[in-house]
A and B are shown apart, each in its own frame.
Chain A
Amino acid sequence: MDSFAILPQQLVFGIALGTVYSLIALGYTLVYGILFMINFAHGEVFMIGAYLGWGLLTWLLSAQLSSLHPLWVLPLLLLQGMIGAGLVGLSLEFFAYRPLYKRGATRLGPLISAVGASIFLQNLVMLTQGARMKVYMTSLLFPPSWRLQVAGVNISALLIVITLTSTLLMFGLHYLVQHTTLGRAMRAVAEDREMAEIVGVKVWRVIAATFFLGSSLGGAAGVLVGLYYTQIDFFMGYSAGLKAFTAAVLGGIGNIRGAMLGGLVLGIAESLAVTFMNPAYRDVITFAILILTLIFRPTGLLGERLSEWEKL
């Protein structure tokens, strides 16, 4: 079959996948922008968000409520996933990173601590929830018959919801960082931590808030991925985290707009790669893009720092 005929459909899938990558990538980028540290446990925060959403959805379904309308169920799932994941992010910062920074650790210490926290969270979920995959009964919330046919392109209601929700959340973050007091404090800390402290910014409170924000976006992505892929397991954070990290680096780590762009580019690139090449090469494409970026544009598509964002 002609590969070009299915191109629009593949683009739609790529955009949906891309917005989810972007949402996770923002968590990496926010933390990096402020602490210059890769929070490798972020994938696990995302995974916990997915489990929280699953728990609530399963409970709602078993409660036999007369009608489960996505209009109120979806915000509820997202809210719970975001707050839960945000709290996990907060405790990560408090227990795994802050003590190290307070004792004057270099960049390597917190990085190792992050890897440790990641393994800890993975195993915690495996031991408490079991190693078997969990299934989001999405079809009861979004019947498969809810779909659009536009010029031969098949778009399910769920796909629209996911793309819209991710985009909304990203615009929300954009507004928060750019137009609020907290956002200004965040940018100040990213620019120069000592100077910010001197002018009265409560640096550790800002760092904690950043962790909460990034993690809650990760949690929201977890819920959305759960709804979209319908199967979650304790290991899902690993590959998703790796892809999102690639997206963040691609866009320019530390740069919020870069993370959004990077995720989108990566999602579309993967979908197109599958269209024109053997699908087994999907990850080869992803990581080839990462390597090429690092060689030819080490600071990413849009450059690195969070603070520089305003100047762009």
Chain B
Amino acid sequence: MWTRWWRVALTSLLMLVMLTLGGGGALAQGTPLKLAVGAPLTGPLAKQGQEVANAVKLAAEEWSKRGGILGRRIEVLEADDQGNPQVGVSAAEKIVADPSVMGVVYGITSVTCIPASDIFERANLVMISPGCTNPKVTDRGLKVVNRVCARDDAQGPAAAIFAVNELRARKIAIFDDGTTGPRGAADEFEKQARKLGATTLRYVIRAGEKDLRAVLGTIPKDVQVIYASLWAPEAALMAKQLPDVGLKARMIGPDGQFEPVDYIQASGGAAEGNYVTFLAPDMRELPAAQAFVKAFEAEYGPLSSYGPLAYEAANIILEAVKRVGKPDRAAISRAVRATNNYRGVLGVPITFDRKGDVAGGVIFVYQVKGGAFQQVKTIVVK
């Protein structure tokens, strides 16, 4: 009996404490400011997601070392979205609930970026995405949403231009996994390829499917190029299983395959010679990026995918916080959108347009050569 009363009393006390803590409006001086990062930290896309989180942590550390902003240290709040929209929404709720968070570097999957951005919009919390490429991410006209990557209506067509003009493909099989991002890129690819005179065939495989042989077996044998709008694990499977159906076609894939471990290594050599389009140039070739590459690799190991984009995004937000000079989410959001000619590590000056997209669409084509990605072509899409 008594234990029960104790339990009730304790619970109510706890709830009271939590309410006062959560409701505390103004920030105490000296407490750290936070930059949040949301990405798939577990699950099949964890490799890319972890790199995003690490790049943001690196940026925050560097700012803290330089004395922070307004005399406060910069801390990072990590939220795992698992590349899943439901989990992404709760990750976003967790982020906006923390009043010391001033901005978010969010998302490499459009399917999570879109619902999460609605939550950030309601909280006036600025978001920059390092890798959500679907047009809808910014086309909905949200005030807080920006991205440093190119859009699928640049990436898909760039791959199509490359396939038709460079690889001379007349007949192309197009795969996507049915989710927002990959499907969007595949649609844009198809439009452009048809415009350039190629014949296209569409296929869908579910994300997580392991046996692609039956589907691959239905591809006509005169297909020269496959545009595989899939993530790295599925692309590796496809590369590996293509010989099983006796198909000798080159694969081209979007940014989600720009992952040496989960694509090149996982394919056991089968990806050799295939192409991947990516949103950033080869960082090792860029003078402006050398310090970043060195610092990142010293702490977190080889840089392989969205790291540079996430690092750029984090710095743009922190730069805006500094310009605004107070922890005011709405003002910071406006300051980020006003970013003009920011020169960071990506080698292209960043200016956000009315919708929060980077002006201009430059896509970099890489080929898998000797087990690594080699930049082979730069394509500008108007």
A residues whose Cβ falls under 8 Å from a Cβ of B: 1, 3, 6, 9-10, 13-14, 17, 126, 130-133, 135, 137-140, 144, 147, 149, 154, 156, 159, 225, 228-231, 233, 235-236, 239, 270-271, 274-275, 278-280, 282-283
Residue pair A133, B213 in contact (C-beta under 8 Å): no
28 A-B residue pairs with CB within 8 Å:
A1-B218, A1-B221, A6-B217, A6-B218, A9-B245, A10-B214, A17-B211, A132-B262, A139-B240, A139-B269, A144-B243, A149-B246, A154-B244, A154-B245, A156-B244, A229-B211, A230-B237, A230-B240, A230-B266, A231-B210, A231-B233, A233-B44, A235-B208, A274-B215, A279-B203, A279-B205, A279-B215, A283-B206
Q: Please, which residues of chain A bring their CB within 8 A of the CB of B266?
A: 133, 135, 230-231
Q: List the B residue with the shortest CB-CB distance to A283.
A: B206
**In the complex, A239→B210 CA distance in Å?**
11
Q: Please, which residues of chain B bring their CB within 8 A of the CB of A231?
A: 210, 233, 236-237, 266
Residue pair A132, B47 in contact (C-beta under 8 Å): yes
Contact with A along B266-278 (1 / 0, CB 8 A): 1011100000000
Residue pair B262, A133 in contact (C-beta under 8 Å): yes
- A17, A135, A159 — most chain B CB neighbours (10 Å): A135
Residue pair B217, A10 in contact (C-beta under 8 Å): yes
The reply on B178 being an interface residue by CB < 8 A is yes
Q: List the A residue with the shortest CB-CB distance to B222.
A: A1
Q: Please, which residues of chain B bring their CB within 8 A of the CB of A130?
A: 46
**In the complex, A239→B204 CA distance in Å?**
18
- Tell me how far the C-beta of B184 lies from the nearest C-beta in chain A, rounded to whole angstroms: 17
**In the complex, A9→B217 CA distance in Å?**
7
Residue pair B210, A135 in contact (C-beta under 8 Å): no
Residue pair A280, B204 in contact (C-beta under 8 Å): yes
Instruction: State which residues 238-257 of B face A: CB under 8 Å.
Output: 240, 243-246
**In the complex, A258→B266 CA distance in Å?**
36
Q: Please, which residues of chain B bring their CB within 8 A of the CB of A17?
A: 211, 214
**In the complex, A233→B246 CA distance in Å?**
27
Residue pair B46, A132 in contact (C-beta under 8 Å): yes
Question: Given contacts A274-B218, A278-B204, A280-B178, is CB(A236)–CB(B210) below 8 Å?
Answer: yes
**In the complex, A278→B305 CA distance in Å?**
33
Q: Please, which residues of chain A bring their CB within 8 A of the CB of B197?
A: none
- Tell me how far the C-beta of A267 lies from the nearest C-beta in chain B, rounded to whole angstroms: 10
Residue pair A275, B233 in contact (C-beta under 8 Å): no
Q: Please, which residues of chain B bring their CB within 8 A of the CB of A239?
A: 208
Q: Please, which residues of chain A bring their CB within 8 A of the CB of B243?
A: 144, 147, 156
The reply on B220 being an interface residue by CB < 8 A is yes
Residue pair B47, A154 in contact (C-beta under 8 Å): no
Question: Given contacts A9-B217, A236-B210, A274-B218, is CB(A131)–CB(B237) below 8 Å?
Answer: no
Contact with A along B193-232 (1 / 0, CB 8 A): 0000000000111101111011101101100000000000
The reply on B42 being an interface residue by CB < 8 A is yes
Q: Please, which residues of chain A bring their CB within 8 A of the CB of B221?
A: 1
The reply on B64 being an interface residue by CB < 8 A is no
**In the complex, A130→B261 CA distance in Å?**
15
Q: List the A residue with the shortest CB-CB distance to B50.
A: A132
Nearest 9 A-B pairs (CB), nearest first? Answer: A131-B42, A229-B210, A139-B268, A274-B214, A1-B220, A280-B204, A279-B215, A154-B246, A271-B214
Q: Please, which residues of chain B bring their CB within 8 A of the CB of A236?
A: 210
Q: List the A residue with the shortest CB-CB distance to B204.
A: A280
**In the complex, A282→B178 CA distance in Å?**
14
Instruction: State which residues 329-355 of B face A: CB under 8 Å.
Output: none
Q: Please, which residues of chain A bring their CB within 8 A of the CB of B214?
A: 10, 13-14, 17, 270-271, 274-275, 279
**In the complex, A108→B214 CA distance in Å?**
38
Q: Please, which residues of chain A bring their CB within 8 A of the CB of B192?
A: none
Q: Please, which residues of chain A bring their CB within 8 A of the CB of B302?
A: none
Residue pair A137, B42 in contact (C-beta under 8 Å): no
Q: List the A residue with the shortest CB-CB distance to B232.
A: A133
**In the complex, A132→B46 CA distance in Å?**
7
Q: Please, which residues of chain A bring their CB within 8 A of the CB of B265?
A: 135
Q: Please, which residues of chain A bring their CB within 8 A of the CB of B301?
A: none
Q: Please, which residues of chain B bring their CB within 8 A of the CB of A159?
A: 244
- Tell me how far the C-beta of B286 lies from the nearest C-beta in chain A, rounded to whole angstroms: 29
**In the complex, A139→B211 CA distance in Å?**
16
- Tell me how far the C-beta of B329 lies from the nearest C-beta in chain A, rounded to whole angstroms: 32
Q: Please, which residues of chain A bring their CB within 8 A of the CB of B46?
A: 130-132
Q: Please, which residues of chain B bring their CB within 8 A of the CB of A278?
A: 204
The reply on B43 being an interface residue by CB < 8 A is yes
- Tell me how far the C-beta of B270 lies from the nearest C-beta in chain A, rounded to whole angstroms: 7
**In the complex, A133→B265 CA distance in Å?**
12
Q: List the B residue with the shortest CB-CB distance to A156.
A: B244
Q: Please, which residues of chain B bring their CB within 8 A of the CB of A10?
A: 214, 217-218
Residue pair B218, A230 in contact (C-beta under 8 Å): no
**In the complex, A310→B243 CA distance in Å?**
44
**In the complex, A10→B213 CA distance in Å?**
8
**In the complex, A233→B46 CA distance in Å?**
12
- Contact residue among B42, B220, B268 (Cβ-Cβ distance under 8 Å from A230): B268
- Tell me how far the C-beta of A136 lies from the nearest C-beta in chain B, rounded to whole angstroms: 9
**In the complex, A13→B218 CA distance in Å?**
12
**In the complex, A9→B219 CA distance in Å?**
12
- Contact residue among A3, A6, A279 (Cβ-Cβ distance under 8 Å from B204): A279
Residue pair B218, A144 in contact (C-beta under 8 Å): no
- Tell me how far the C-beta of A80 lies from the nearest C-beta in chain B, rounded to whole angstroms: 22
**In the complex, A116→B129 CA distance in Å?**
38
Q: Please, which residues of chain A bring their CB within 8 A of the CB of B206?
A: 280, 282-283
**In the complex, A9→B241 CA distance in Å?**
14
Q: List the A residue with the shortest CB-CB distance to B82.
A: A131
Residue pair B44, A132 in contact (C-beta under 8 Å): yes
**In the complex, A308→B210 CA distance in Å?**
36
Q: Please, which residues of chain A bring their CB within 8 A of the CB of B208?
A: 235, 239
Question: Given contacts A9-B245, A231-B233, is CB(A275)–CB(B210) below 8 Å?
Answer: no
Q: List the B residue with the shortest CB-CB distance to A155.
A: B244
Q: Please, which residues of chain A bring their CB within 8 A of the CB of B217?
A: 6, 9-10, 13, 274-275
Q: Please, which residues of chain B bring their CB within 8 A of the CB of A14?
A: 214
Q: List the B residue with the shortest CB-CB distance to A158.
A: B244
**In the complex, A274→B204 CA distance in Å?**
11
Residue pair A3, B237 in contact (C-beta under 8 Å): no
Q: Please, which residues of chain A bring their CB within 8 A of the CB of B268?
A: 135, 137-140, 230
